[in-house]
Structure formats: C-alpha cells, structure tokens
Amino acid sequence: MENSRLETKVGLFVLIVLVLLGVLMVQFSKGTSLFRSTYQLKLHTENVGGLKQKSAVMLAGVPVGSIKQIQLSPDGKVVTILLKIYRDYPIYTNATFAIESAGFLGDQFVSITPATNTLAMPDSAKFADGAEVDCQKPFNIQQVARDAAGFIQRIDETAKKLDASVTDLRAQVLNAGTLANFGTSITNLKLFTEQALGTLKNINGIVETNRAQVSLAVSNAVLFSEGLTRLAASAQTLLDTNGTTISVAAKNIAEATETFKNLAADLQAGKGLAGKVLQNPELATNFQVIAANLAVTTSNLNRIGLWGILWSHKPAITNNTVPINSPRSTRK
C-alpha cells in the first residue's frame, strides 16, 4: 500500500516537472519570460503575411518581446498586432516598425529599428503602455513573383510585336523588287563615281597644262586685291585728312540745295523780280518775241555771215512796226 502511494507521488511529481519544463521551454523559445515585467504596444498594418502569435519582437536584432495577439478589423482592411515588450527596453517614438523574415524563407517577426541619437531624447519621447503605432507591411515574395510574371508577359508581347515588325519590314522593304532597285542604284552610283573620277582627271590635266596661265591669273588677282587694298587705305587716309572739309562741303551743298528749293518755290509763287516776270503774261509774250527775233538773227548769221549783214547793198528794212505787247509799243 505504501509502495503504491509512493509510486503515485513520484509519478505526479515527474508529470508536474515535465509540464513545467515544457512551459519554460516554450516560453524561452519565443523569447519571453514568466517573471519579467512587460508593456503593450498596438501595431496597425495592412497585411501581416506569415506572422504568427508568439513570434518574436526584435529591437536592433535583439529579442525584446513577443506577439501576444493578432486581430483583424471588422471591415478587413486593418490588422492590429499586440506586442508584449520588456520594460527593460524602452522604445522611442521615432523608431520604425516592420515585419521581416529570418533569412529568405524563415519565420517572420516584428523588427524595430531605433532612430539615431536616442541618448539626447527625453523620457517623454518613449512609447507608453498601450500606445498605437503604424507598422510597415512585410515583403510579399508571391506578389513580387506575380509582378515579375506580368513583366515577363509584357516582354513576351513586346518581343512578338518586334518579331511582327521585322516580318513586315522584310515583306515591304527587303523584297526582291526593292533589293533589285537597290542593286541598280549601287551600279548607277558606281558609274557616276567613275565618271566623276574621269572628270576630275580631265580637270587636273587642264590645270597641269595651263599651270602658267593659272599662276599668272592668280598673281594678277593677288596684285589686283593688293591694289584695291592700297586704294581703300588711300581713300581712308583721304577721308581722315579732309574729313572736316568734306563735311563743310556737304553742308554747303545741302544749304545750296535748300536755297535753290526756296528760290524755285518763290518763282512758283510769283515772288521777287524773276517770279513776277514769269507770272506776268505780257512779259512772257515779250520774251517769246525776243526769242523769235534772236532765232531770225542767228539764221541770217548762219546764211550770209556777219560781214554780209554789215556791208550788204540791199536797203535796210525800215519797218518800224512793233509787235503787239512789245516794250517799244509803250513808248510815246
């Protein structure tokens, strides 16, 4: 009887020890302790990926707590993560939270990246118990794979379009007719080049044959250009030397032109003696008579000469009639 009781007590003790060891192993494997004081933080994010309850919380790569609970909002747009952080590790408000993976395909955890120069920050800048923080969503390799698949599909479509363009280019441009025309163009270009080379040879022969004449023409052109240069220099010197005189002469010419212009205007308006003569009809008629008499006199001079007029035996004309409106008709 006593042996059975002893066995029962030993079995119970072993069971309790095993349970405690299991609980302690689970707690220590998740980075938490039953005897350490903690405070809570609430993280809000759009997606938690493969994050699970009891996952670790890392501050600069050091375990500082664990995930207590993961809650989805009623509308399904926001996920709230409750963190249990050891009070030994205060977190400042300028720290950033992100969901990362241990390795490429390892377990996911919450990573806290502290800001720089936290030593100079006051205690009021630390997160209090129950504070709410925004968290970056995890890197989704499946989404990246889908995006890469779409990108590869677009590349494939672009390659197909490029292949179709090359096919059209071959059909429209690189066909037999176009290639034949291109070959004809090349042949014509070759013939034109040969003709151009022959023409250049002929020109070279002409230049070689008439080298002396070409040299003489070039020398004459050089001498002519030098003469023009000297003439321009002389003209420039003349202008520099007689600049004042030329300016005065130009000014005098301008003044004379203005004077003649005023004189012509006065004559046209009948001002002055000449203007009155031109504007008086009687004087104009007298000038016409005088001009007619001068014409007769010059005609006689041309016909019989001066001595013929002076020593002529013919009786002189004694016609004393005076033309109308002549100056002598006014005498009494």
pLDDT digits (tens, 9 = 90+) for 257-288: 888 888 777 777 767 666 666 666 777 677 77
Residue 329 vs residue 20, higher pLDDT: 20
**In angstroms, how far is CA 256 from the centroid of its own chain?**
59
Phi-psi region of 130 (alpha: psi -120 to 50; beta: other; left: phi over 0): left
- pTM value? 0.37
Q: Are 98 and 135 in contact (CB under 8 A)?
A: yes
Q: Which two tokens stand for residue 275?
A: 């203007």
Q: Are 140 and 100 in contact (CB under 8 A)?
A: no
Cα separation, 193 vs 38, in Å, equals 94
The string of pLDDT tens digits covering residues 167-223 is: 887 777 777 788 788 889 899 999 999 899 888 888 888 878 888 887 888 888 888
Report whether pLDDT(65) > 80.
Answer: yes
Report whether pLDDT(322) > 60.
Answer: no
The string of pLDDT tens digits covering residues 141-173 is: 666 777 777 788 888 888 888 888 888 877 777
Cα separation, 193 vs 182, in Å, equals 16
Containing H/E element for 99?
strand 96-101
Arithmetic mean of pLDDT over the chain: 78
CA distances from 42 to 5, 71, 84, 267 (A): 51, 10, 9, 115
For residue 176, the model assigns a pLDDT of 78
